[in-house]
Amino acid sequence: MEGIFHHPAAHRCGFVAIAGRPNVGKSTLLNRLIGQKVSITSRKPQTTRQRILGIKSEPGYQAVYVDTPGLHEHGKRALNRYMNESARSALREVDVILFVVEGLRWTDQDDYVLQVIKVARAPVILVINKVDKIADKKKLLPHLNVLAKKMSFAEIVPLSAKSGDNLAALEEQVRRLLPQGPPFYPEEQVTDRSERFLAAELIREKLMQNLGEELPYAATVEVSAFSREEKLLRIEAVIWVEREGQKAIVIGKGGTRLKAIGRQARLEMEKMFDSKVFLQLLVKVKEGWSDDLKSMSSLGYQ
- Kindly report the CATH number assigned to the domain that includes residue 156: 3.40.50.300
Residue 185 belongs to a domain: no
Work out the percent of the chain whose per-residue pLDDT is above 70: 93
Residue 40 belongs to a domain: yes
| pLDDT band, residue 39 (cuts 50/70/90) | confident
Same domain, yes or no, for 45 and 133?
A: yes
Same domain, yes or no, for 286 and 144?
A: no
Residue 229 belongs to a domain: yes
Look up the domain containing 265 and give its range. Answer: 195-298
Residue 184 belongs to a domain: no
**The whole model's pTM is what?**
0.87
For residue 296, the number of C-alpha atoms closer than 13 Å in the C-beta half-sphere is 17
**Is pLDDT above 90 for 283?**
yes
Residue 190 belongs to a domain: no
111, 113, 119, 120: CA torsion to nearest 10: -140
Same domain, yes or no, for 171 and 203?
A: no
Residue 182 belongs to a domain: no
Same domain, yes or no, for 69 and 152?
A: yes
For residue 8, the model assigns a pLDDT of: 61
Q: How far is CA 165 from CA 29, 126, 159, 279, 294, in A?
A: 11, 16, 6, 36, 44
For residue 5, the model assigns a pLDDT of: 45
Same domain, yes or no, for 58 and 125?
A: yes
DSSP result, 214-277 = SGGGG-EEEEEEEEE-SSEEEEEEEEEESSHHHHHHHH-GGGHHHHHHHHHHHHHHHHHHTSEE
For residue 300, the model assigns a pLDDT of: 81
Same domain, yes or no, for 7 and 75?
A: yes
Same domain, yes or no, for 169 and 219?
A: no
pLDDT in tens, 53-109: 999 999 999 999 998 877 776 667 777 777 777 777 778 889 999 999 999 999 999
